[in-house]
Copies of this chain bind each other. A is one copy, B any other.
């Protein structure tokens, strides 16, 4: 085994190793120790974790090792090292929500997703850094590709920890851009499922646009982790959960893709735009039809429908955040950041009637978008306006990823572009409950771009 390269982040995909878990050439415990080595290597510089339970992780990895050797793994992810965003409850570690108001808080249970992951053999290494209440105020995590830059947010620690191979998958949540943006900035695969496809029980993100999803070292592990959770915990109560097969859908070359500009286009860097154009050209040369608002009326209608997705989403989130912000303010307003106070102020200016109009408008926009499903395999755009910005006080612009959140559709970011010599994601947006089809398309796009 080569010594880890201390300077360059390197993801550690788990699924390709599992054949060797059975034949004894490798084991989940050995895999975990390599992850822990990367943790010790990187953590002092990147601050990706809030708390750890290495002893429990090692015990769980030993049990997984025995099961693979016996040919009886609990699932394909049995033994996979996983990190959990610190707004999601774990019975063995605090859930601090990135807020001093929740210092040391213990919910006395595993969240639905964590319980499901443990049942599938997942090895829960620790809790990963979140911005304050998964909103805007960042904590101290740094981007491992450039320590002067943000890792993105709000699932900051999950992305940074996956990027350096301390875990294979980090569970994140996204209401604005909190899975895809940090995945883009840290060079990871990110998957935001159809809204409500993953049970959020025991997580502190009850917003109607919010969705749990994996930040992963490979496309197949993103699928596998989401599938294993949904199979055991389902979606949010009353929803059908993630639809799709028990292993990652096979790559399939798309026939037609809709290229979206979104509100992000005017603020994207020149080299980010060039990177998207180069990828588009490569796909076209492989025979994929790419159309934009300039050639297709339905796409033009979608661009109109997602215009200012940020404003509509922000209003919806603000009303839905009225609680618990009111109870947090009553406890100790001095422990909330300015962005939380701003959100509370915004909520104070919104009435229930305004909110009703906003969610109706969101439904209308979702219907406009759904009309693309008959003609296109997916939509294609950037995952961010460029590489991670310098500085730790801002987690970057979510303009490209808010539309997928507002629309409630599945979205995947592939770490295949670069800007400024740093990672940049290519985003694919699918259609509600057709998450599996999006994985096929994403796999097909990945194969064409890597060819």
Contacts and interface: CB of A to CB of B under 8 A. Distances in A.
Interface string A69-113: 000000000000000000000010000000001100101111110
Nearest to A233: B323
Interface residues of A, number: 43
Nearest to A107: B107
Given A91-B330, A105-B108, A232 B322 contact: yes
Interface string A227-242: 0001111100110110
A141 to B, nearest CB: 24
A361 B417 CA distance: 46
A60 to B, nearest CB: 13
Interface string A322-345: 111011101100000000000000
A1 interface: no
Interface in A359-382: 359
Given A206-B237, A207-B237, A352-B234, A199 B323 contact: yes
A206 B115 CA distance: 16
Contacts of A101: 108
A112 B319 CA distance: 12
B230 A324 contact: no
B91 A327 contact: yes
Contacts of A359: 238, 240
Contact of A355 (B110, B234, B327): B234
B237 A201 contact: no
Contacts of A323: 111-112, 115-116, 199, 201-202, 233
Nearest to A108: B105
Given A240-B356, A331-B109, A202 B234 contact: no
Contacts of A20: none
Contacts of A201: 206, 323-324
Contact of A324 (B202, B234, B328, B330): B202
In the complex, which of the residues A323, A326, A331 has the most CB atoms of chain B within 10 Å of its own CB atom?
A323
A354 to B, nearest CB: 11
A26 interface: no
A320 interface: yes
Interface in A293-326: 319-320, 322-324, 326
Interface in A193-224: 199, 201-202, 206-208
A324 B240 contact: no
A119 interface: yes
Nearest to A210: B237
Contacts of A207: 237
A230 B199 contact: no
B324 A91 contact: no
A230 B323 CA distance: 12
Contacts of A102: 108
Nearest to A351: B231
B320 A237 contact: yes
A145 to B, nearest CB: 35
Given A108-B102, A326-B115, A91 B331 contact: yes
A107 B359 CA distance: 29
Nearest to A328: B109
29 contacts: A101-B108, A105-B108, A107-B107, A109-B327, A109-B331, A110-B324, A110-B327, A110-B330, A111-B323, A112-B323, A115-B324, A115-B326, A119-B326, A201-B206, A202-B323, A202-B324, A202-B327, A208-B237, A208-B238, A230-B352, A231-B352, A233-B323, A234-B319, A234-B322, A234-B352, A238-B359, A240-B352, A240-B355, A240-B356
A-B interface, 8 closest residue pairs, ranked by CB to CB distance from nearest: A208-B238, A112-B323, A208-B237, A110-B327, A109-B327, A237-B320, A240-B356, A115-B327
